[in-house]
Structure 1
Amino acid sequence: MVTRGRWRLAVVAYACLMAAWVVGNPPFAAPDEWAHYLRALGLAQGAWVGEPTRDYEDANLSEQQLGWVVQATRVVPVPEGLSPLGFGCNTFRPEQSAGCLPDVDARPEAARLTTPTGTYPPALYVLPGLAALRGTSPVSALLAGRAASALVCLVLLAGMFAALWREEQGALSLVGPALALTPLAVALSATLNTSGPEILSGMAFFAALLRLTRAESPPRWVWGFAAGAGAVLALSRSMGTVWVAADVLLVLLWRGPGALLAQARARPVAAGVTAVVLALSLGLNRLWEALYGPRVHVGFERLRPAWKQARLWWPDWLREQVGVFQYLDAPMPAWAYVAWTVLLVGLLGAALGWGRARDRVWLVLTLAGALFAPVLLYIALIRHNGWTVQGRHVLPLTAVLPLLAGEVLVSRVGASARARAWAIATVAGVAVLQGVAWWANAHRSAVGTLGPVWFWSAPEWSPPLGWWPWTVLVLAGAGLLVSAASPAWRAPRPPSTARR
């Protein structure tokens, strides 16, 4: 049986899925993508934060929400032919396809436009912005920016799989990362929005910490990867420092500080450089927020009505973390959420059953944290600004749950035939659901949510090259993911007949 390096097949599989999302998602259909696109274009032209303005209007926002938004609103330059205005013709209209997009005026003149993301941390906008500047139209510029952001996410994903892979366990070491990479995480990694790199770097940084605290000595590159992933996480968004601290604290409490200190003593230079990079990144995050960040109110006033409202939204927050796409108006079929939950519960149940008492305690505590993270974020912070939480806001934290459960299994379960079969079935289920998620988004885009299930024959909107090439790419990605979990069998060599 050959399993060496088969995590690379998983990386190629997700690369196929990301590419299909990059092209198959209509222009500016991801959450606030037009605003992040403008932020990236402005930054790439030297507009570090743009010009402050209070001249921002949005009929969909309340006065309280508008007061929060204008704190980060800035005016940025947009090159000739790259304006994104007018591409929201079917936003919040899930029954309407993206067929109206070809009628949008390209607005070829150069302009100065307003973006409500003008003071967001700049690091993750640089590469997409430089790529977008090479575009000749809003669509080509956006696709270039999406591809650049997806490349960053793919590097983080590859490092996560490489760090957690164990040859002797094979498919079992793929289960945790596969379930952490929900369809929403894959979709956001292929958009021009810093949520994608934030989520993927959260997973990657936690995976690197898990690898650094194993009993066996890690390769030198894991230290560098931990530094890089941690820096991306810290510099991604305002909450980056919170996610870094939470990841480090969880690993240290679960495995004890001695495990990490032992590895640091073995490679003091690598450990020292990693610590310095993380400290600088965290410091830059705090400095940026102090200079340009919004005024944040944290408090638990009027707790009872806030808790009542949070309970009503709780199912939506959990579902969104699996996958509700575009402007939260393109859900997957109801059975897909049930199926993903079954797969996740199966992983948690197996980890609780095989883990030690200490493992069980921290799995339960992490589960509680994952369930209540959106509630706490809403009650303590988001509601004071008139907004609610979205699943993507907490996924950098909650995704550590399947990674932790997968690590417990890899540490405690032998490479038995039964464990291998269960792992292959779980990864196969993930592959199917990734395909279903892409279909749900494509269906909403091609014919609207009320359109025919089979939309390939007469779509109202199609991506470049039509739907079939990207559908085939999704099927190839799903197949490669199953192949990564399935062992490759090599026929035994026939006995030698040569005389000695």
Structure 2
Amino acid sequence: MRLRGFRLWLLAFSAFFLMIGAWALSAPYDGSADEHDHIYRAAGVWSGDIAPRPADAVRGSGAFVHVPRGLIVPDEMCWQFKPAVSASCAPEPGSDRTSVRVGTGAGRYHPGYYALVGLPLKLWPGWSGVILARFITGAAAAALLAGALVTIVTYFRRRLMLAGLLVAVTPMAVHFFGAVNPNGLEIAAGVGLFTALVPLVLGRAGADDDAGPPTWLLVLAGTSGILLASLRPTGLIYLLFAAIAFFMPLRRDTLARLWGSVAARWWIGAVAFAAVFAAGYAVAFKGTDLGSTFRGGAAIERGQAALIIVELWGELTEQIVGVFGWLDINMPGSIYVIWHLAAGALLVFGIAFGHWIDRWRLSMLLVGAVGVPTFMQFWFFNDTGFVTQGRYMLPALVGVMIFAAWILEERGLPERAGRSLIRLLLVTVLPIQLFSLLWAMIRWRSGLPDYGKIGIVSLWPLGRGWHPVTGSALPVLMLIIGLAGLAWLVWRLSVPMVAAAAEPAADRPEQDDGAGRDGAELATST
């Protein structure tokens, strides 16, 4: 069997969506950080509160919106921030459609994402609407991830960027793909954008084609860029540094090829318009005002702020991998070490094997992903308090991992070593994806026991305690099937294109470095 463009995309989409859907079904209501704020904002958009007036609604910021009463959560949380307490004490969302006015911390955010997910919450408040809203976010994220996978297979002969994709999509990312929260879709947009930019700007995609850059790449890069610009204000920073990294120093032939395409000019214009509109909306509605809740009691010196941030960076690196729920579900420390080693290996060897221009681009991506957010947290520490979270950096950090893998593909590893690396990461990180969901489900079911009391029975997610509305068996089964499907795809696709050279010419698809062909043959024989 051979996998062609749409067939491969559909298989990849199905695998990713099953993984994301498992998290969407397993989490309790308001099971991820600030989910109720985003649910209120989304339902409010469909109640007419598209651009509500900024107010001191929640934590000194936000706005007031109208929401079905069934979606309201109590002000006092009973299980959040208490890892030993199960989610059974929390009320479930109800079907009461009575409109009530409520404050939301997300009230000043760009309405685009909330218009996408809000209709089910307005029409069917309760579990039906919540799960559908989570599924909409998950489907959009899965579509972008599947597009990234197809791009890697189509335009890169050795496919080593699959290793970057595996490491970039952390359990924390999958957790937020399955939540009502724009941060999840923002991370997926980062994956789509950086995966498409590499062949568009640095590769030969469309270089020998009079029709210009491939439509597929323009759609993936353009859609991802619009999302990244619109979903959260930090996306504008990540877009800026992506442009610096990929377009400086300027390559006239690349710019001429892109600007010579009418479709490319339209997409560039659309991304620019989305960025200007998002920036204007954030200024007009004070979208970057985080309130005063997280500020300290007394001002501290710059040196103290720097030391505090350095100390807290250890927590941020764990959050990038997975500290679930309301940052109250920490996994065993060895899990973080394994993932950090995998990511660190890609980064270190990418720097070591890269040319000076590769190091420049990688440095700019790191500055945008890590340097600028850290500096802003340091500079505005007394104004905001410590508000940075590791997941906020993921939309740009995914680009670091993907680009580092591209450097290894272009400059370093031979084909066999590249295939071995992909498969090694496959058998390393996918089991962690399974463990992450099981660990979170145990916490929600009965609370995490003390490490000294953990046994086989306490780690069984189907035991007594709180269970999601669909039961716990379904999300576990969905995740296993999704992981198995992704593992099968990546294992087969890790065979480089050049390995097909042993096939008879009549049995092989034509190859032109994978460039400029939409719907081309994509994968090896299975």
TM-score, normalised on structure 2?
0.82
User: Is this contact kept in 2: 1:173–1:407, CA < 8 A?
Assistant: yes
Aligned to 1:344: 343
Aligned to 1:185: 173
Gap change, CA 1:380 and 1:206, over 3 Å in 2? farther
Matched, 1:464 2:469: yes
After superposition, residues 195-234 of structure 1 pair within 5 angstroms as 195-213=183-201, 214-217=203-206, 218-234=213-229
Aligned to 2:245: 250
Structure 1 unmatched ranges of 5 or more: 57-65, 494-500
Aligned to 1:62: none
User: Is this contact kept in 2: 1:11–1:161, CA < 8 A?
Assistant: no
User: Is this contact kept in 2: 1:374–1:391, CA < 8 A?
Assistant: no
Aligned to 1:270: 263
Aligned to 1:150: 138
User: Is this contact kept in 1: 2:442–2:448, CA < 8 A?
Assistant: yes
Q: Which amino acid in the other structure matches residue 48 of structure 1?
A: I
User: Is this contact kept in 1: 2:17–2:142, CA < 8 A?
Assistant: yes
User: Is this contact kept in 1: 2:182–2:232, CA < 8 A?
Assistant: yes
Report the number of matched residues: 475
Among candidates 283, 287, 312, match of residue 290 of structure 1: 283
Gap change, CA 1:187 and 1:383, over 3 Å in 2? farther
* Structure 1 residue 341, shift from structure 2 partner: 1.1
Among candidates 82, 89, 97, match of residue 93 of structure 1: 82
The CA RMSD measured in Å over matched residues stands at 3.0
* Structure 1 residue 261, shift from structure 2 partner: 1.0
CA offsets 1:319-341 (integer angstroms, 9 cap, x no match) = 11111111100122211101101
After superposition, residues 431-470 of structure 1 pair within 5 angstroms as 431-450=430-449, 453-470=458-475
User: Is this contact kept in 2: 1:7–1:165, CA < 8 A?
Assistant: no
Gap change, CA 1:364 and 1:103, over 3 Å in 2? closer
Aligned to 2:484: 479
Give the Cα separation in 1 of the matches to 2:220 and 2:441: 34
Gap change, CA 1:236 and 1:269, over 3 Å in 2? same
Q: Percent identity?
A: 25
Aligned to 2:315: 316
Give the Cα separation in 1 of the matches to 2:96 and 2:184: 28
Aligned to 2:517: none
After superposition, residues 69-218 of structure 1 pair within 5 angstroms as 69-70=60-61, 72=62, 74-85=63-74, 88-101=77-90, 109-137=98-126, 139-166=127-154, 169=157, 172-213=160-201, 214-217=203-206, 218=213
CA offsets 1:285-331 (integer angstroms, 9 cap, x no match) = 1221221125769xx99321110111110101111111111110012
- 97-106 or 118-127: bigger deviation: 97-106
* Structure 1 residue 18, shift from structure 2 partner: 0.3
User: Is this contact kept in 2: 1:321–1:392, CA < 8 A?
Assistant: yes
Q: Which amino acid in the other structure matches residue 200 of structure 2?
A: L
User: Is this contact kept in 1: 2:365–2:396, CA < 8 A?
Assistant: no
After superposition, residues 321-332 of structure 1 pair within 5 angstroms as 321-332=320-331
Task: Say which SS state the counterpart of residue 123 (structure 2) adopts.
Answer: coil
Give the Cα separation in 2 of the matches to 1:237 and 1:324: 21
Give the Cα separation in 2 of the matches to 1:381 and 1:480: 45
User: Is this contact kept in 1: 2:241–2:365, CA < 8 A?
Assistant: no
Give the Cα separation in 2 of the matches to 1:460 and 1:115: 31
Structure 2 unmatched ranges of 5 or more: 207-212, 291-298, 505-526
Give the Cα separation in 2 of the matches to 1:436 and 1:374: 30
CA offsets 1:346-405 (integer angstroms, 9 cap, x no match) = 222443344334324543564566554542231123552224211122222222110111
Aligned to 2:40: 38
Gap change, CA 1:393 and 1:381, over 3 Å in 2? farther
Task: Say which SS state the counterpart of residue 113 (structure 1) adopts.
Answer: strand
Gap change, CA 1:260 and 1:188, over 3 Å in 2? farther
CA offsets 1:213-249 (integer angstroms, 9 cap, x no match) = 1123242221122221111111111222212111111
Q: Which amino acid in the other structure matches residue 80 of structure 2?
A: T
Give the Cα separation in 1 of the matches to 2:408 and 2:352: 9
Gap change, CA 1:326 and 1:456, over 3 Å in 2? closer
Gap change, CA 1:429 and 1:114, over 3 Å in 2? same
Gap change, CA 1:104 and 1:17, over 3 Å in 2? closer
Give the Cα separation in 2 of the matches to 1:294 and 1:274: 26
Gap change, CA 1:371 and 1:122, over 3 Å in 2? closer
* Structure 1 residue 411, shift from structure 2 partner: 2.6
* Structure 1 residue 25, shift from structure 2 partner: 1.2
Give the Cα separation in 1 of the matches to 2:21 and 2:76: 21
After superposition, residues 351-430 of structure 1 pair within 5 angstroms as 351-363=350-362, 366-367=365-366, 370-381=369-380, 383-412=382-411, 416-430=415-429
Q: Which amino acid in the other structure matches residue 490 of structure 2?
A: A
Q: Which amino acid in the other structure matches residue 177 of structure 1?
A: L
Give the Cα separation in 2 of the matches to 1:85 and 1:51: 24
CA offsets 1:23-71 (integer angstroms, 9 cap, x no match) = 1111111111101100000001211133554465xxxxxxxxx4xx33x
User: Is this contact kept in 2: 1:241–1:282, CA < 8 A?
Assistant: yes
Q: Which amino acid in the other structure matches residue 321 of structure 1?
A: I
Q: Which amino acid in the other structure matches residue 428 of structure 2?
A: G
Q: Which amino acid in the other structure matches residue 416 of structure 1?
A: E
TM-score, normalised on structure 1?
0.86
